[in-house]
Chains A and B, each alone.
Chain A
Amino acid sequence: MNSFWIILTGSLVAATCGFLGCFLILRRMAMLGDAISHAILPGIAIAFLLTGGRDSIAMLVGAAVIGLLTVFLIQLFHQSGVKSDAAIGVTFTALFAIGVVLISLYGSHIDLDLDCVLYGEIAYVPWDTLVINGAEWGPRAVWGLGIIFIISLLVVGLFFKQFKICTFDPAMAAAIGIPVALFHYLLMGLVSMATVASFESVGAILVVAMMVVPSATAYLLTDRLPVMLGLSMLIGVLCSILGYSLATWLDSSIAGSMTVVAGLLFLISFLFSPRYGLVSKWQVRRQIKLELE
C-alpha cells in the first residue's frame, strides 16, 4: 500500500509539473521555472516560521506570493537594463540564499531541514495522513497535489484558447484583446503553487526536472499542443513508476531516480523520435542520398 501511495504522489507531481511545464518550454521560459522553484524557498521558510507547522494553505499562499514576486522582480531588473538571463540569475540565487540562511539559523526549531528542501522525502509521504474526525483519509500530500492538479487542469481547460494564443503568438493575442500579462501571471501563479505542493515530495530543485524533462520529451514526439500536454503527463506517470523501482533497487533518493528515468526517456526520444529523432533524421538523410545516387 505504501508503494502505491508513493507512486501516486510521484505521478501527481510529475503530471502537474509536466502539464504546466509544456507552456514554459514553449514560451522559452524554462529557466524562469527554475528560478521560481528556487525562489519560493524563503516563502516556505517564512510560512514555517510563522505558523510553526506544515499548514498547507499558509505555505501555498506564501509561496505563490513569492513566486509572483520573483517574476515581477526579474521583469523589473530586465526593464532597468539587466539582460534577462542575468536578471533571472541574480534574483533566484538571492532569494534562495535568504531561504537557506533562514532554514540554517532556525531550522533546529522547526521540522525542516536542508536535505528535505533539496531532494524531498517522498518515502515519508504515506505516514503523514490527513485525519478528519478521527478517520484517516490517505496521505495529505496526495490531497494537496490532487487539488492543485485539478485546479491547474480547470484553469488551463477553461482558458485553453487564450493560453494557446498567448503561448504561440503573444503579439497577436494582445492585438485581439487578450490580457497577455494577466495570463502570464496566472500561469506563473499556477507554476508557483505546483512547485510548493511538490517541494515536500521531490524537493525544490528536482521540481524543475519534472517541469522541463517530460514536456521536452513530449515536444520531440508531437506537433499538437493537446497531444503534447497529454503525453507529458503520461511520461510523468511513467517516470514515477520506473523511478520508484530504480530507487528501491539502488536504495537511493526516489526523486533523484525519477529524474534519472526522465532523463533516460528524454534520451530515447531524442534518439528515436519518429520525426525529430537523431536516428530517424539520419535515416531520412541516407534515404535521400541513396535516391540521388
Chain B
Amino acid sequence: MNWLQVLQDPNTQWVLAGCILLGISSGVLGSFAFLRGRSLMGDALAHAALPGVCLVFLLTGSKSIGFFLVGAAISGLLATYCITMITKHSRIKEDTALALNLSVFFGIGIVLLTYIQHSDSGNQSGLDKFLFGQAASLVGSDVNTMIAVSSVLLIITALLFKEFKLLSFDQGFGKGLGFPMGFLDGLLMVMLLMSVVIGLQAVGVVLMAAMLITPAVTARYWTNKLSTMVILSGLFGALSGAFGTLLSTQIQNLPTGPIIVLGSTTLFLFSLLFSPKRGILFRFLRFMQVRKKVLHQDILRSLYDVMEDSKKENSIPASFFSVERLAIKSGKQAQTVEKALRTLLKKGWVTQDKEDPQKWGFNQKGLHVAHSLVLNQRLWDLFQMHEQNFHGYTIDQSEEEIIPQLNGVQLEMMLKELEHHNMTPTLVAIQSYKIANHTPDQGGVTA
C-alpha cells in the first residue's frame, strides 16, 4: 500500500495523532521519573493496571476507554500505596516491593482475564489487546480521550515546570523555599499513572514502561539541560510512536507496542554509540587520543632522563640512545617505543643517529618540549611530596600544568626547593630556557 494513501486515511490520521501525543506526554513525564530514579515505577504501574481494566469490564461490560481509565487509575494507585506501605513498614527493600506488587497485581489481572475468557460474558476479545497493544483497534472516542488527557498532562507540566525541576534535583531546597514537595511528588506520580493508562490500549501493559524510560534515557545522552532534555525526550517518544503505529497498521498480526519500543530502542542505541559528548564512539576516540598523548610525553621524558643519567656519568652526555634503553627506562615494549619515536620524528622533535639509525636523540625543539614536560612533572612530584611546604598556594590538582598556576615568587620558591632536592632538570638552563652553546650539526647538547 502506498504510504501517502495510508496517511490520507482519516482513521489512520486520528490513530497517528493519538500515538504521537501519547509518545510526547510519556516522554516528557518519563524524563522526570528518570531523574527521580523512579523509572521502574512506570513498569509496576502499567502491570498493575491490568486487574483494574478487567474488573471494570467485569462490572460494566463496556469497553470504553473512559471506564478503563478509571479502573486502571484506581488499581495503579492501590499498587503505589502498597509499594510505599511495604517499604515503609517492613524490612523489604524497594526493588523487591516493586517486583512483588507488579507480579501479584499482574497475577490477579491474569486470573480475572482468564475468568472473563472462560465465562461467556459476551465479546471480550478486545481485552487481550491490552497486553501488547493494538493501535489499529483504537476508535474515535478513544483517540479523543487520549488527546484530551495528554494535552492536560502537557499543560500541567508546562505550568509546573519550575516546581518539577526543583523536585527532580533538590527536594530539600524546594521544601526550604516553601513549596509543597510531598504534594508535587504525589501529583507527578498521578500524572505518570495517567500517561501510563492512556497508553495501555496502544502499547499494552507489558511494554508501557519502555515508553517512559527509553526516550528519557536517550535524551539524556544529548544534553545536560533539563528543558532541552524534556523536549528531546518528548520528540523521541513522538517519533517512535509514529513509527510503531504506521508499521503495525501495515503488517498483519504485528502488535503496536513492541514496534514502538523497538523504534525507541534504535534511537537509544544510536545515541549510545554516536552522541558527541557521552557516546561510546567519541568517548573511545577521546580516550585513544589521550593515551597517545601520554605515551608521547612518557617517551620524551624517558629520553630526557637517560640523557641526564649519561650526563651524570660522563659530564658530556651522549646524544643518541638505543630503543632498548628507552624501553627499559619507560617500562614499555620496545615496539611501542619505536612506533612512538617515529611519530615524534614526523613532528620534528627527535632525530635518528646518522651512523646508527637504531639510536635516537633530541633536536633543539624536542629538547625544549621535553624539558618543560620534565620540569612540569618534577614540580608536580615536589608539590605532592611536600604539600605542607606550599601551604596557601592555590593549585588545582586536576590541571595538567602547574607552572601557569604559580606567580613569579611561588615559581622561584619551588625552583629553589627543586634544586635543594637535587631534582632540577639540567639539560636546559632553567632561567633562560635557552641552550648556551648549542651546536646543532653534532646534535650534541651541553648545559
| Chain A residues near B (Cβ < 8 Å) | 25, 28-31, 33-34, 38, 77, 80-83, 85-86, 88-90, 93-94, 96-98, 100-101, 104-105, 107-108, 114-115, 118-119, 203, 205-206, 208-209, 211-213, 216, 219-220, 247, 250-253, 255-260, 262-263, 266, 270, 276, 278, 281
Contact = CB atoms under 8 A, between A and B. Distances in A.
A41 B87 CA distance: 30
Contacts of B328: none
Nearest to B35: A83
Given A89-B209, A216-B92, A259-B110, A115 B214 contact: no
B37 interface: yes
Complex A-B, nearest 3 residue pairs according to Cβ-Cβ distance, in ascending order: A259-B107, A209-B103, A93-B210
A260 B43 contact: no
Given A98-B262, A205-B103, A260-B111, A115 B268 contact: no
A257 B258 contact: no
Contacts of A28: 93, 95-96
B327 interface: no
A216 B100 contact: yes
Interface in B236-252: 251
B103 A259 contact: yes
Given A89-B214, A94-B262, A220 B92 contact: yes
A253 B131 CA distance: 15
B213 A29 contact: no
Given A28-B95, A31-B40, A97 B115 contact: no
A93 B108 CA distance: 22
A89 B104 contact: no
Interface string B29-42: 00000100111101
Contacts of A105: 251, 253-254
A90 B213 contact: yes
Main secondary structure of the interface of A (DSSP, over half): helix
Contacts of B112: 252
B255 interface: yes
A108 B90 CA distance: 47
Given A119-B114, A219-B92, A259-B106, A90 B258 contact: no
Contact of A208 (B34, B40, B99): B99
> Which has the most chain B C-beta neighbours within 10 Å: A93, A115, A203, A251?
A93
Nearest to B47: A205
Contacts of B217: 82, 86, 89-90
B90 A251 contact: no
Contact of A80 (B42, B96, B118, B272): B272
Contacts of B216: 86
B107 A93 contact: no
Contacts of A252: 110-112, 114-115, 118
B237 to A, nearest CB: 14
B265 A94 contact: yes
A100 B265 CA distance: 15
B287 to A, nearest CB: 12
Contacts of B34: 83, 86
A78 to B, nearest CB: 11
> Which has the most chain B C-beta neighbours within 10 Å: A88, A101, A251?
A101
A124 B214 CA distance: 37
Contact of B259 (A86, A101, A115, A251): A101
A107 B258 CA distance: 15
B271 to A, nearest CB: 11
A29 B95 contact: yes
Interface in B349-385: none
B169 to A, nearest CB: 14
A115 B40 CA distance: 24
B89 A278 contact: yes
Given A90-B210, A263-B107, A253 B114 contact: yes
Interface of B: 34, 37-40, 42-43, 47, 86, 89-93, 95-96, 98-100, 102-104, 106-115, 118-119, 128, 131-132, 206-207, 209-210, 212-214, 216-217, 220, 251, 253-255, 257-259, 261-262, 265, 268, 272, 278, 280, 283
B214 to A, nearest CB: 5
Contacts of A278: 89-90
Contacts of B102: 34, 208
A116 B11 CA distance: 32
Contacts of A107: 253
A256 to B, nearest CB: 4
A160 B113 CA distance: 41
Contacts of B212: 89
Contacts of A219: 91-92, 96
A211 B102 CA distance: 12
A61 B111 CA distance: 31
Contacts of B106: 205-206, 209, 259
A263 B265 contact: no
Contacts of A115: 128
Contacts of A85: 37-40
Contacts of B272: 77, 80
B206 A96 contact: yes
Contacts of A31: 40, 95, 98-99
Contacts of B91: 219-220, 276
Nearest to B119: A251
> Which has the most chain A C-beta neighbours within 10 Å: B99, B212, B251, B268?
B99
Contacts of A220: 90-92
Contacts of A253: 110-111, 113-114
B110 A97 contact: no
A213 B216 CA distance: 30
Contacts of B251: 105
B47 to A, nearest CB: 8
Contact of B255 (A77, A100, A213, A263): A100
Contacts of A262: 104, 107
A97 B102 CA distance: 19
